[in-house]
Amino acid sequence: MAARRITRRWLFNSFGVIIVILVALIGAFSIGIRGYYYNLVWQAGNSRLSTLSTYIGSLSKRLSPMEYQTELRNLVANFEDKDKMELMALNGKGQIAITSSGFESEETVEFPDFAQALLDESGTARFQGDLNGENVCAITQTLTQPSDEITALRVVISMSRVDRQIISSILVISLVGLLVIGAVLFSSLYFINSIIAPLDEVGETAKEIAQGNFSAKLEKKNDDEIGDLVEVINHMAEELASTEQMKNDFISSVSHELRTPLTAIKGWGETLSDPAGMDPQMLQKGMRVIVNETQRLSSMVEELLDFSRIQSGRLSLSMARIDLVAELSEAVLMFTERAKRENIRLFYDEPELFFPVTGDKNRLRQGFVNIIDNALKYSDSGDTVTVSIQKQGNFAVIGIADTGIGIRPEDLPKVKEKFYKANSTRRGSGIGLAVADEIITCHGGTLSLDSTLGKGTTVTIQIPLCPKNAVAEE
């Protein structure tokens, strides 16, 4: 389909113009070559008549009328160019007195050029047209000293040979034009095919990619725009394959994360379904597990909902002037007991200064929670997590550093992408950091990571502070 559309458009827009130009050139050449040959015929006829008139004028001065007339008849009868043109001697009535072919006629023949020559001051007139079914050129010139029998001379040139020569020339140039058209058509079709064939391959490969075959690849054959398109398609396939893999990993991870608390809740629910004779401590422990796992499920579902809102652009923020330190301290406090249970040292030196920012306190706290949760998640027993906040110019800079397992250099640029999880051995859905990054970005800030494999990771957050005059007004 694409091949037909491109070929048809080229034939109409480009090849059609070439044909019109060539036809116009051939037409102009035909008119020019005809004019050129016909002009040569006129010149030849005029030249011959001029020579004869000059010669006849000299005869009239030195011959008697009888000798003059006899000489005229001999001159016509013995015309030396009779194989090229016919010479006629006409009397005063326009009748043919004698011709170089020996034909004589007493009938009056109306020659338009003869009548015009009698009226013209130069005594010369031309005629070109059909004569007895033959295309001829005729020139009539009246004699300055006419005799009793001869008043004018007329040369008649058959244009049959000239027309054949003109037709031959036109056929030759037409053949050349056809060869040019053929060469242009061949080269253009070759060029179009060099475009269409790769485009067809791109189309077929794109269909395979659309059907989920992300391993489909195109071979780059030329370093041109199509070659660039091939590279883009291949890159797109690689990115789609990577995204598909991350999505599958995400689904697998989320399924596992959901299954674990559900299993615990189901197990304790079945255990507590018959509390008769159950130890009160066991009952309390079971209820605590159910509450904790339910809270964990609720947090995961909320995280998934936030991620869905971010993806669809529906993440809403309730902006107000808040103290950033208060929200960061609240987030750290939420993990104090967990850090103790996991034997991880959590250090945080809360500053006494007020860090005013315009933001959504719940969303900012959620972002801090996600990052601190990651720091603890990727740390082992005996590791350290350090949280700090300080002012740098017009920004509040928050640092969350851990001495955990770190991130591989090849994973570092991707850890903020959706679905991406650098280490599948640690629990989590892999979207917490992506949600945190989007929250910080929505507040006009930035989130960056620096990590060394086996030594730990540092997350740096920059959030713009409120202007000083705005704080003073408050």
- Looking at residue 473, what is its pLDDT? 43
CA 45, CA 186: separation in Å to the nearest integer?
48
Over the stretch 431-453, which tens digit does the pLDDT of each residue have? 778 888 888 998 999 999 999 98
List the CATH code of the domain at 316-473: 3.30.565.10
Average pLDDT of the segment spanning 320-333:
92
Q: Where are the beta strands (DSSP E) in 3-151?
A: 86-90, 96-99, 124-131, 134-142
- pLDDT beyond 80 at 171: yes
Q: Where are the beta strands (DSSP E) in 281-339?
A: 320-323
Over the stretch 132-143, which tens digit does the pLDDT of each residue have? 778 888 898 888
Which residue intervals of the chain bear CATH 3.30.450.20?
2-167
Which residue intervals of the chain bear CATH 3.30.565.10?
316-473
Q: Among 141, 96, 145, 95, which Cα is nearest to 120's?
A: 141
Residue 220 tokens read as: 């780059």
Q: In three state form, how does the secondary structure of 187-251 look?
A: HHHHHHHHHHHHHHHHHHHHHHHHCCCCCCCCCCCCCCHHHHHHHHHHHHHHHHHHHHHHHHHHH
Average pLDDT of the segment spanning 37-56:
84
Q: Which residue has the higher pLDDT, 466 or 62?
A: 466
Residue 386 tokens read as: 């350090």
- Looking at residue 469, what is its pLDDT? 53
Q: How confident is the model at residue 340 (pLDDT cuts 50, 70, 90)?
A: very high
- pLDDT beyond 80 at 279: no
- Looking at residue 254, what is its pLDDT? 67
List the CATH code of the domain at 225-297: 1.10.287.130
Average pLDDT of the segment spanning 165-177:
88
Average pLDDT of the segment spanning 56-85:
79
Average pLDDT of the segment spanning 277-299:
78
What counts of helices (H) and strands (E) characterise the chain?
12, 12
- pLDDT beyond 60 at 305: yes
- Looking at residue 235, what is its pLDDT? 85
Over the stretch 219-228, which tens digit does the pLDDT of each residue have? 777 777 778 8
Residue 177 tokens read as: 């034009």
CA 301, CA 431: separation in Å to the nearest integer?
12
Strands of the sheet containing 134-142, edge to edge, are 96-99, 86-90, 152-158, 134-142, 124-131
Which residue intervals of the chain bear CATH 1.10.287.130?
225-297
Residues composing the chain: 474
Q: How far is CA 330 from CA 339, 350, 364, 409, 455, in A?
A: 15, 11, 11, 32, 27
- Looking at residue 196, what is its pLDDT? 75
The CATH number, out of the four listed (3.30.70.920, 3.30.450.20, 3.40.50.2000, 3.30.1330.60), of the domain defined by the range 2-167: 3.30.450.20
Q: How confident is the model at residue 429 (pLDDT cuts 50, 70, 90)?
A: low
The lowest-confidence range among 67-81, 331-345, 355-369 is 67-81
The lowest-confidence range among 120-124, 189-193, 254-258 is 254-258
- Looking at residue 472, what is its pLDDT? 41
- Looking at residue 471, what is its pLDDT? 45
- pLDDT beyond 80 at 425: no
Over the stretch 6-30, which tens digit does the pLDDT of each residue have? 667 776 777 777 888 888 888 898 8
In the chain, the percentage of residues whose pLDDT exceeds 70 is: 87
Output the average pLDDT for the chain.
Answer: 81
Please give the span between the terminal C-alpha atoms of the chain, in angstroms, as a whole number: 68
